[in-house]
Amino acid sequence: MSTLDDLPLRDELVGQRPYGAPQLDVPIELNVNENTHGLPGEAIADIAQSLHDVIAGLNRYPDREFSRLREALAGYLGHGLVADQIWAANGSNEVLQQVLQAFGGPGRSLLSFTPTYSMYPLLAAGTQTSWVAVPRAEDFTVTPEVAAEAVRAHRPDVVFLCRPNNPTGTGLSLEVIEAVYDATDGVVIVDEAYQEFAGPDAPTALSLLAGKPRLAVSRTMSKAFAFAGVRLGYLAADAAFVDALRLVRLPYHLSALTQAAALGALRHSEALLANVESIRAQRDLIIRRTRELGFAPYPSEANFVLIGGISDPQATFTALLERGIIVRDNGIPHTLRVTAGTPTETAAFLEAFAEVASPMAADS
């Protein structure tokens, strides 16, 4: 049997590994930041009916411009946005890939502040865009001054700002976004996949879009909407920015089923988002309890917690898995990341974690 070494891969793909967290059949899955609360019954019924209604027409291509969906997403986001300022694709990863296809590529570069979402360098490699990683501060924060200096020094064509940051949960001020935008002639993408978990009154980069044609804000329905299995990500930007993405999208890239399911979900956005506050409460409980146990959880504005100060993360990961609980080892020393689950899942995790994990010594 042949291997990748036997194939004429592009140079930048040699040695790469595909993205993927372990997919294991365990009772408690807290490793990929899914919304563990699921969909309410009324939303399920409406989505099922919406899918039923389009099945008879599946012999025809779907609406290439997904006009109704764009209108509904604009209405959900608010901030005076209209349909022409909205784009969507099969998950926010595809949206970001399309951004790099349009604005990155050979001879161009993508900059972000690390550690951050592990798909960014993979998307860069897949589009032949150079990857520029700028380290965050020890507490994973980024200041406007540091961000602007890095952008001026490296002169990237594209900047990705993950807000809240994955895998650390760290917030990012609007001042950082403005400083980065002013320091570059390239495009700036603010990845707000976890924005809803920051709180109902939390500031959003959507408020900065007016008058900034090179700024875009990406979102997803996978997290707060509990819609990970549908794969619907979207972006808000100037209408001309959206037109640029049309140049690289595949024809009819959003299926009729995806469009129907997303429209059904948006009709029930209030019910779907009702669990966000409960998830935030579980997140804060994980932070509080693990701190009491002697660990060093980082502040989080997302639906997960990066727990620091673990003496042996790999042993802890394995011990939790043996108890039917899977979390995430992102490779950051002495840390594990855990998704905020249901109250039952959170309680089970905290009980097991207290039994199997050991904090680092104070002088380590």
- Name the DSSP letter for residue 182: H
What tokens does 112 get?
């972000």
In 3D, which of 289, 312, 284, 314 has the Cα closest to residue 300? 284
| Torsion sign, CA atoms 163, 38, 118, 324 | positive
pLDDT in tens, 52-75: 999 999 999 999 999 999 999 999
pLDDT at 363 over 70: no
Backbone angles phi, psi at 153, to 5 degrees: -70, -40
What is 41-267's CATH number?
3.40.640.10
State the chain's maximal CA–CA distance in angstroms.
67
- Say which amino acid occupies 232: L
User: What would the pLDDT profile of 198-234 be if each residue is shown by its tens digit?
Assistant: 998 999 999 999 999 999 999 999 999 999 999 999 9
Tell me which architecture the domain covering 21-39+274-356 has in CATH: Alpha-Beta Complex (3.90)
Q: Angle of helix 343-356 relative to helix 276-292, nearest 10 degrees?
A: 20
Helices (H) and strands (E) in the chain, counts: 12, 12
For residue 311, pLDDT over 70 is answered with: yes
Pairwise CA distance, residues 302 & 89, whole Å:
22
Q: What's the pTM value of the predicted model, to 2 decimals?
A: 0.95
Mean pLDDT of all residues belonging to the chain: 96
Residue 138, classified by CB atoms within 10 Å of its CB into exposed (0-12), middle (13-18) or buried (19+), is: exposed
Write down the pLDDT at residue 364: 52
**Residues of the chain with pLDDT > 90: what percent?**
92
Cα torsion angle, 137, 142, 144, 146, sign: positive
Q: How far is 15 from 318, CA to CA, in rounded Å?
A: 26
Report whether pLDDT(349) > 60: yes
Task: Give the domain ranges of the chain.
Answer: 21-39+274-356, 41-267
Mean pLDDT of 157-184: 98
- Which of 6-20, 156-170, 302-316 has the weakest average pLDDT? 6-20
10-33: pLDDT as tens digits? 888 888 777 767 778 899 999 999
List, for residues 90-146, the tens digit of each pLDDT value: 999 999 999 999 999 999 999 999 999 999 999 999 999 999 999 999 999 999 999
The stretch 322-341 carries a mean pLDDT of 97
Task: State residue 82's pLDDT score.
Answer: 98
